[in-house]
Structure 1
Amino acid sequence: MSTNWGRLIACLFYFIYSKSPKKELIKMDFKSFSFPGESPQSPTAKILLGLAAFLLYLFLTAWLFVPLIKTFQLLSQLNPQTNTKIDFTPIKQMYANPLLSLKELTNPTVLKAYLIFLAISIPTIIVLVILAKSTDYKGHGIKYLRDDGTHGTANWMTVQEAKKILGIGTNKGLILGRIGSKVVTLPPDSFLNRNVAVFGSPGSMKSRAYIRTNICSWQKKGRAW
């Protein structure tokens, strides 16, 4: 029965689409929603989208939740002192045919439980949507590094920070590079260790620009580290 319902809905959508003059009765994507003659951000499109989503939510929750209510009622009527078995056939039929679930809403007890479910679920969904909209990464972006440490606080050393622990323009110690025209070195009396790891692809001048430079510097000064 559920397969027949799926085929019926699919045929209905295909019929509507095939009869549409421009093959676009409704346009929907993840970024916009529009009807023919309406802009994606128009109030009419938003209202119709909200109404369609609300009706779809009511239909799906009635289809899926009402059988659970009936199951709970059947279990509550079960007498442990007897060996009576529960017939779950009506529950299966409601899942196979959503109209049976909607028909059960005429039962005051089922309707009351369903309304309680809606009273809890709808505000919860509204709160989640508001929280999702408040976390707008597209509008505000992600705060990196020193702003709030989202991805850690590591960063490139500034010139002011380098002056506190490295030698800039002193030409003493292990040559690390340069800032402008001034050579940056690791002073001989630095509290930092003297282990250096050099990474680079072949031909990136690891030897010529770093290793040979320091070897020549050590040879000139008559000392090795």
Structure 2
Amino acid sequence: MKLLHAVCIFALGSLAASGTAMAQDRAGSVQVKAFATAVLPDGKITKFETDLVGLPANTQTTANDNVVPTVAVEYFFTDNFSVETICCLTQHDVDGTTGLPGAELVSDAKLIPATFTAKYHFDLGAIKPYVGAGPAYFIFIDEQRGAATIPLGVTDFDLSNEFGVALQAGVDIPVNSRGLGVSLDAKRYFIDTTARWFAGNTVAIQTEHRLDPWVLSAGLAFRF
């Protein structure tokens, strides 16, 4: 029994030392994450600024969800503090819900959600949760007028690039001592955009849209 007791104490001490070592070797390291990411935007109209075509009074819209691959790169300044940026390209349509139900108003708008967050990591042994926040800049590429707007005389369309804020929470779970892990991440963005539909050089419709997407990710992390 004394021998078993001693072995148990040694094992627990080794685990504690291992956990401490893992917690203390992050400073100065880089972590790269490969994610599958669900981008879940709102797309609701919050304001009509111009309407030369006479849209129905109750016109409302929504943007479709999308799942895309993303990559995050993170640098640890200390064991608990890091900064992170992400890279991805997601594509969305905007369709009418009320007033123009099912009408495609925006087609294949490609979005780069440039994001930079500062993160604080909690050390709970094998599980390492974190919270973060930082600025975001939404860049729209190659957005197209929707099919339903062409009969209205719309010849061109654009969405404004905008600054916003991202809040973040997640958890890193080490798999082995060589830096491999599993990561779960959730971000909520607070950002709007201005949509403009043109008839020639004239703005025929201009609306403000709340995007405020949830961005939910799961994948593998490698720290080196």
TM-score, normalised to structure 2, is: 0.22
Bigger radius of gyration among the two: 1
Relative contact order, CA 8 A, sep 6+: which one is greater?
2
Q: TM-score by structure 1 length?
A: 0.22
Give the strand-richer structure, 1 or 2: 2
Query: Which protein has the bigger helix share?
Result: 1
